[in-house]
Structures are given as structure tokens and as C-alpha cells.
């Protein structure tokens, strides 16, 4: 990725990252830890087994307000995001896609309805463009404020809830994709039970001047360890979650990306608030007639990593797709990848999930890969309220909300 000449921005946890031995790399204009001395694999496994703290302050947090209340903000957002946002209950959160006129994906985001504003989190690499776009696309009555004085950390993993509970028992009122203001060591933090690892966990919006204090406090809790962007990437890939700029982009539609679930019935043809978002006609057409390619998961019994950009060919050597993300997963110890495949192959495999296979080309060699459904490891989202022991439910698909 080409880096601009402008100096990298540092998060509030920069000194802590250095103290922990984090290997700092440029990412979307920020200096971020890609890993700590434990390494990507150990950090990945720790998150699946215990609780990991990620600095995700590079992502942009926005507050959207209207004098007419949050309903007006959500109604306006529905003109740029084909999700059911008006239907959000107070403090409920939803995953959304900002679509383009040509049916592509400008960015993906999280939208949460709060008491007096709507809280949005967008990707770091698109933040500036998103803010400009939203200011132009939404009516002037909607005030869009980047929350410049808020940092964002994620605590993810099966033991995340007990760590947060030791600070504020009110955490037990949260289920997956809801948020609440919690008092964490006396710091007022807007906390959502969500994340991007496939695990139960939290994303915590904390005032920047208290962020380092909170991070140190969380890291002092038993079983909590820091994890970098490297582990975040392998975790989200295992969870079948898309990375914008790679698995989804301006050139991929939500239907091609197999994110149809993010467009609920109410926004589809025949629905109460159908269409009326950028690219609606193209996306509706793909919904009814099917796209020409679709995002699928690939796994292999071989050991060679199959990475982004690898060409996928069928048994006759004809190109049928391309890999958009790939790694060797620390949990499964084998290559996994996301790829766009010609629909015929992608659909046939969905009907007979174990039968479809293709070859990925790696340095002139062909690696046999099976076409599979995602996630590669089951999600562990907590969808029902619990008191002491969290009831974890595993979802068979990549549905997030």
C-alpha cells in the first residue's frame, strides 16, 4: 500500500503499544501495532480462548444529530444505506453498507441509535471520504460530527464479558448488537456488544484522555492480553467477515459479496420502504436474476498460504475467480481464503457444499481448494440476555444482526 508523505497519526495508546513491544506499521495513515512480541498466531489463539484487547482508534466514530430527533437521522441514513435503520430500538446497533450509484460498496459501517444522536463507526481508510459524502448526501438538517476526542478499543473473546462485568455488572443487560453507557473504572464509556472477530466481545468508545488508563486497567485483568492488527485480520477472516478495500469495494455489490442479509425485506422490492438508496435498481436486479459472481470461502488440505490476488481456475484450467483475502489460520492450521467465483460454481457448491473444488494458482503451482460456506469457525455471539453464565449461540451463517 503506498503511503503518503504526511506523518502518521498516533492513537492515544501509542506509548502503551511501544511499551508492550508492539511492532508499529503504517495503516490507513495511522501508526498501528501489527503484532506484539507474542506474535500473530498466539494473539489469535488467545482471543479465541480468553480475551484480547485491540486498539481500533483508527476507525472513525461519528455522531449524527437532528433537531427532529434520532428518527429523522435514521430516516435520512436509509437514503444512503439499504438497512432497516428506522426500525432500530434505542441502543440497538446494526451493520450497514454505504452503496454507490453503480451498486458497489463505498464502505461498511456500524450504526447505533442512542438517546439524542446516532453513533456511527466507519473504516479508517474511508473515513474522510465517508464524512464528505455523508455531508453532501444527507440533508443539511443532519449535523455530522466526528468524535475527535473519543478513542475506540475492542475487548474480544469468551472471557471479555467477565472482564467487563468486574468493572460494571450492567454489562449483563447487553446482548449482541446493542450498546449502553457503562462506567468502566469510573470512566463513562459507550460500549456495544459487538466486534469483528466472530467472538463475543465489546467495542468501547472511551474519552481519549482516559483511553490509556482504561487500556492499562483492562490489561491488568487476568486473561486479558493485547492483540494487534495482524490477529484482527486472521480472526475476521476466520469469522467470514469482509474487509473493505479487499473483499468488498466500489466494484463489488452487496449481492455479489453475499451480504444480501444486510438488506432486509423492508428495503427490497415489495417492502414498505423498498429501494430509495444509491444503486437500488442494479442491486434489486441482481437480487432477482442473480449476480454473475459471488463471494465464497475456500479451504485446502495443503499447507501453502493462498493470498489476496491469487487466480482461481477450474479443473479445465479456465479462470473462474480471484482471491480477495487469504491466510493460514492459526485455529485450523490450514489455508483459508475468500474469493469471488463465477456464480455457476459458487451456487453449485452451496447446493453440495463438499463437492465443489477449484484450484488456486500460487507461484505457478495449482493448490486444490474446496468451496465452503462461511464462517470458517462458528460465531459465538451472545444473542440472549444472561445473568452470570453467558449463553453462547453459534450461527451457521455469516449473519451479524
Partner 1 sequence: MTTYFTPEHEWITIDEAGNATVGITDHAQEALGDVVFVDFPTVGFAIDAGGNAGVVESVKAVSDIYCPVAGTVTEVNDALSTDPTTVNSDPQGAGWFFKLSGVDPSALDGMMDEAAYTTYLTTLP
Task: Give the binding site for partner 1 (CB under 8 A).
Answer: 34-35, 39-42, 230, 233-234, 303-305, 307, 327-328, 330, 363
The nearest distance, CB 23 to partner 1, in angstroms, is: 8
Q: Can you state the angle between helices 40-49 and 229-238, rounded to 10 degrees? A: 60
357, β-bridge pairs: 370
Q: Which is nearer to partner 1, 56 or 336 (CB)?
A: 336
The nearest distance, CB 47 to partner 1, in angstroms, is: 14
Q: Where are the beta strands (DSSP E) in 175-237?
A: 179-184, 187-192, 201-207, 224-226
Report d(CA 284, CA 392) in Å as an integer: 35
SS3 of 105-173: EEEEEEEEECCCCEEEEECHHHHHHHHHHHHHHCCCCCEEEECCCEEEEEEECCCHHHHHHCCCHHHHH
The nearest distance, CB 35 to partner 1, in angstroms, is: 6
The nearest distance, CB 303 to partner 1, in angstroms, is: 5
Instruction: State whether residue 16 is helix, strand or coil.
Output: helix
The nearest distance, CB 43 to partner 1, in angstroms, is: 10
Q: Which is nearer to partner 1, 23 or 71 (CB)?
A: 23
Bond prior to 375 in cis (omega within 30° of 0): yes
Q: Which is nearer to partner 1, 283 or 339 (CB)?
A: 339
Q: Which is nearer to partner 1, 252 or 300 (CB)?
A: 300
Q: Which is nearer to partner 1, 72 or 360 (CB)?
A: 360
The nearest distance, CB 269 to partner 1, in angstroms, is: 43
Q: Which is nearer to partner 1, 140 or 333 (CB)?
A: 333
Q: Which is nearer to partner 1, 161 or 369 (CB)?
A: 369
Long-range CB contact pairs, 31-35, < 8 A, 24+: 32/58, 32/228, 32/229, 33/226, 33/228, 33/229, 34/228, 34/229, 34/230, 35/228, 35/229, 35/230, 35/231
Report d(CA 235, CA 183) in Å as an integer: 28
The nearest distance, CB 316 to partner 1, in angstroms, is: 26
Question: Which residue, 158, 186, 161, is CA-closest to 173?
Answer: 161
Report d(CA 352, CA 355) in Å as an integer: 6
The nearest distance, CB 370 to partner 1, in angstroms, is: 19
The nearest distance, CB 77 to partner 1, in angstroms, is: 35
Report d(CA 363, CA 307) in Å as an integer: 11
The nearest distance, CB 300 to partner 1, in angstroms, is: 11
Q: Which is nearer to partner 1, 84 or 233 (CB)?
A: 233
Q: Which is nearer to partner 1, 35 or 93 (CB)?
A: 35
Report d(CA 258, CA 253) in Å as an integer: 9
Q: Which is nearer to partner 1, 274 or 304 (CB)?
A: 304
How are strands ordered across the β-sheet holding 179-184?
179-184, 187-192, 201-207, 150-156, 51-55, 224-226
Dihedral sign, Cα of residue 28, residue 210, residue 120, residue 180: positive
Amino acid at each position: 500500500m503506498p503511503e503518503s508523505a504526511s506523518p502518521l497519526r498516533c492513537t492515544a495508546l501509542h506509548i502503551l503499544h511501544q511499551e508492550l513491544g508492539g511492532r508499529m506499521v503504517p495503516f490507513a495513515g495511522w501508526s498501528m501495532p501489527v503484532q506484539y512480541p507474542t506474535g500473530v498466531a498466539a494473539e489469535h489463539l488467545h482471543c479465541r480462548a480468553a480475551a484480547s484487547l485491540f486498539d481500533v482508534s483508527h476507525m472513525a466514530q461519528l455522531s449524527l444529530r437532528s433537531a427532529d430527533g434520532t428518527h429523522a437521522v435514521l430516516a435520512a441514513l436509509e437514503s444512503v444505506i439499504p438497512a432497516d435503520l428506522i426500525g432500530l430500538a434505542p441502543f440497538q446497533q446494526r451493520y450497514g453498507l454505504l452503496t454507490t450509484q453503480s451498486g458497489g460498496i463505498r464502505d461498511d459501517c456500524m450504526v447505533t441509535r442512542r438517546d439524542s444522536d446516532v453513533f456511527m463507526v466507519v473504516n479508517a481508510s474511508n473515513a474522510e471520504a465517508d464524512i464528505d459524502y455523508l455531508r453532501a448526501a444527507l440533508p443539511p438538517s443532519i449535523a455530522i460530527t466526528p468524535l475527535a476526542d473519543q478513542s475506540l478499543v475492542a475487548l474480544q473473546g469468551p472471557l471479555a464479558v467477565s472482564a467487563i462485568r468486574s468493572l460494571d455488572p450492567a454489562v449483563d443487560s447487553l446482548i449482541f448488537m446493542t450498546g449502553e453507557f457503562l462506567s468502566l473504572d469510573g470512566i463513562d464509556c459507550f460500549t456495544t456488544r459487538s466486534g469483528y472477530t466472530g467472538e463475543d466481545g465489546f467495542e468501547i468508545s472511551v474519552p481519549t484522555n482516559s483511553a490509556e488508563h482504561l487500556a492499562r486497567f483492562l490489561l491488568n485483568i487476568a486473561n486479558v492480553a493485547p492483540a494487534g492488527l495482524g490477529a484482527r485480520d486472521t480472526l475476521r477472516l476466520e469469522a467470514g467477515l469482509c474487509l473493505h478495500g479487499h473483499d468488498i469495494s466500489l466494484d463489488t455489490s452487496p449481492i455479489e459479496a453475499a451480504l444480501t442479509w444486510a438488506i432486509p425485506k423492508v428495503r427490497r422490492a415489495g417492502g414498505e420502504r423498498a429501494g430509495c438508496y444509491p444503486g437500488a435498481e442494479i442491486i434489486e436486479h441482481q437480487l432477482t436474476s442473480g449476480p454473475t459472481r459471488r463471494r465464497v470461502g475456500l479451504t485446502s488440505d495443503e499447507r501453502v498460504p493462498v493470498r489476496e490476488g491469487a487466480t482461481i481456475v477450474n479443473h479445465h484450467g479456465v479462470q473462474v475467480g480471484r482471491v480477495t483475502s487469504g491466510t493460514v489460520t492459526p485455529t485450523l492450521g490450514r489455508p483459508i481464503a475468500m474469493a469471488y467465483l463465477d456464480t455457476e460454481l459458487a451456487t453449485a457448491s452451496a447446493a453440495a457444499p463438499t463437492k465443489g473444488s477449484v484450484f488456486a494458482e500460487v507461484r505457478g503451482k495449482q493448490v486444490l481448494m474446496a468451496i465452503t460456506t462461511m464462517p470458517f469457525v462458528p460465531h459465538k455471539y451472545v444473542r440472549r440476555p444472561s445473568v452470570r453464565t453467558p449463553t453462547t449461540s453459534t450461527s451457521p451463517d455469516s449473519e451479524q444482526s
